[in-house]
Amino acid sequence: MNLKQLRYFEAIYETGSVSGASLRHNIAQSALSYQIANLEKELGVRLFERRPRGMAPTVEGDRLYEHVRRIFLAVDNARSDLLARSGTVAGTVTVGLPYTALEMIGLQLAERAAAAFPNLQLWIAESLSSQALSSLRRGSVDLALLYNPAVSADLRTTQLLTEEMLCIGRPEIVGTSGAPIDFDDVAKLPQLLLRHGDAARAIVEDPVLLRRIVRRSRIELISTNMLKQALVKGFGCAIGPRATLDSVLRDPSLHARRITRPVIRRRLCLAWLAERPLGRAEMAVADLLTELIADAIGSGRWDAELET
């Protein structure tokens, strides 16, 4: 077993296919299949189930991937540590961004990182906030932006901003008034949620208020685009910040109202694992994230309050 084999395994695991891994590493598919077959023979287990539409990891494949992430993290840390002695920011950093953050700063993050740190390989993964947290704990990402993260001994967080939440839907559901709507009235409306549990926590942090919203859940979705379509169709209303649903609010069939009594806000925090202190490369990316968020809020592109 060598690092090259593990890189190939990682690529197949992350892309879900030999063809995707082949494109990532510019190697023939037959050569990749040969390497994985040898790895499985050496380990005495099957790492993937071969399917018509790709490769699905087995339980043993999932377990190996956890080890592989730690191995390559150690390799990257060793490289970064030695390069840091010369003042160079280098290595690989993977950042998990929820949909809103990706829309607001994702492209700028990629551009600025490439220009400022040519020796840094930056990976950006889009996911729901709850998925980003799971990826962080698995070691799939090094940094993650999370909404309303619960206090946890295994995490280190720093708050970056707060956003006010709106009630959004068709006028026949949320009303035609431009005045704010009380939370008690919002809690009586049919709700559209992005998944259940931890993902819902990204909307309303207070557990009592959250339970009232979840009880009124009509449809639970895993796609922001599907949520927008469901709003336009009139399946229910949604609670969310203007930045997330800015494009859908351009649809004249939808209406947004501020929520009061109480006002609902959510926190966006930068998070990393307590057991993995930030290295030079991670700190450089964290600083860049903070700077880009401040720029987006200052320019008015992101309707939020910067944490000071």
Residue 252 lies in a domain: yes
Per-residue model confidence (pLDDT) at position 38: 93
**Where residue 18 sits, what CATH number does that domain have?**
1.10.10.10
Which of 62, 83, 112 corresponds to the end of one domain? 62
Residue 68 lies in a domain: no
> What are the tens digits of pLDDT across the range 79-137?
767 766 667 788 889 999 988 899 899 999 999 999 999 989 999 988 766 677 888 88
C-alpha to C-alpha distance for 146 and 205, rounded to whole angstroms: 12
Dihedral over Cα of 176, 181, 185, 191: its sign = positive
The two tokens of residue 27 are: 């190697």
Residues 27 and 105 in one domain: no
> What are the tens digits of pLDDT across the range 19-74?
989 988 889 999 999 999 999 999 999 999 988 888 999 999 999 999 998 888 78
Per-residue model confidence (pLDDT) at position 198: 47
Q: How far is CA 152 from the centre of its chain?
A: 18
Q: Tell me how far apart the terminal alpha carbons of the chain are, to the nearest angstrom.
A: 49
Arithmetic mean of pLDDT, 279-299? 94
Residues 228 and 257 in one domain: yes
Arithmetic mean of pLDDT, 275-296? 92
Residue 243 lies in a domain: yes
Residues in a beta bridge with 123: 94
Residues 121 and 172 in one domain: no
Residues 199 and 243 in one domain: yes
C-alpha to C-alpha distance for 123 and 125, rounded to whole angstroms: 7
C-alpha to C-alpha distance for 147 and 163, rounded to whole angstroms: 10
Kindly report the number of other CB atoms within 10 A of residue 30's CB atom.
10
Which of 62, 83, 108 corresponds to the end of one domain? 62
Per-residue model confidence (pLDDT) at position 231: 92
Residues 167 and 252 in one domain: yes
Residues 81 and 148 in one domain: yes
Amino acid present at 137: R
3-state secondary structure at position 165 = strand
Strands (E), the chain: 48-51, 54-57, 91-97, 120-126, 143-147, 155-169, 181-182, 191-194, 217-221, 238-241, 255-260, 265-273, 305-306
Q: Could you tell me the pLDDT band of residue 244, with boundaries at 50, 70 and 90? A: confident
Per-residue model confidence (pLDDT) at position 197: 44
- Compute the half-sphere exposure of residue 173: CA atoms within 13 Å on the CB side of its CA: 25
C-alpha to C-alpha distance for 222 and 293, rounded to whole angstroms: 25
Residue 91 lies in a domain: yes
C-alpha distances in angstroms, 69 versus 97, 135, 175, 295?
19, 11, 50, 33
Arithmetic mean of pLDDT, 279-296? 94
Residues 9 and 26 in one domain: yes
Q: 């991937």: which residue's tokens?
A: 65
Residue 186 lies in a domain: yes
Residues 117 and 171 in one domain: no
Quick check: pTM over 0.95? no
> What are the tens digits of pLDDT across the range 180-221?
999 999 999 999 987 644 455 667 778 788 888 888 887 787
Per-residue model confidence (pLDDT) at position 5: 92
Arithmetic mean of pLDDT, 287-306? 94
Give 217 or 153, the one with higher predicted confidence.
153
Residues 123 and 184 in one domain: no
With a CB cutoff of 8 Å and minimum separation 6, the contacts of 189 are 167, 169, 173, 174, 216, 236, 237
Residues 167 and 257 in one domain: yes
**Where residue 274 sits, what CATH number does that domain have?**
3.40.190.10
Residues 178 and 196 in one domain: yes
Portion of the chain with pLDDT greater than 70, in percent? 94
Strands (E), 59-119: 91-97
Q: Could you tell me the pLDDT band of residue 242, with boundaries at 50, 70 and 90? A: confident
C-alpha to C-alpha distance for 5 and 2, rounded to whole angstroms: 5
Arithmetic mean of pLDDT, 135-143? 85
Q: How many domains does the chain have?
A: 3
C-alpha to C-alpha distance for 61 and 142, rounded to whole angstroms: 21
Residues 148 and 279 in one domain: yes
Per-residue model confidence (pLDDT) at position 75: 82
Residue 291: pLDDT over 90: yes
Arithmetic mean of pLDDT, 270-288? 91
Residue 165's domain comprises 161-266
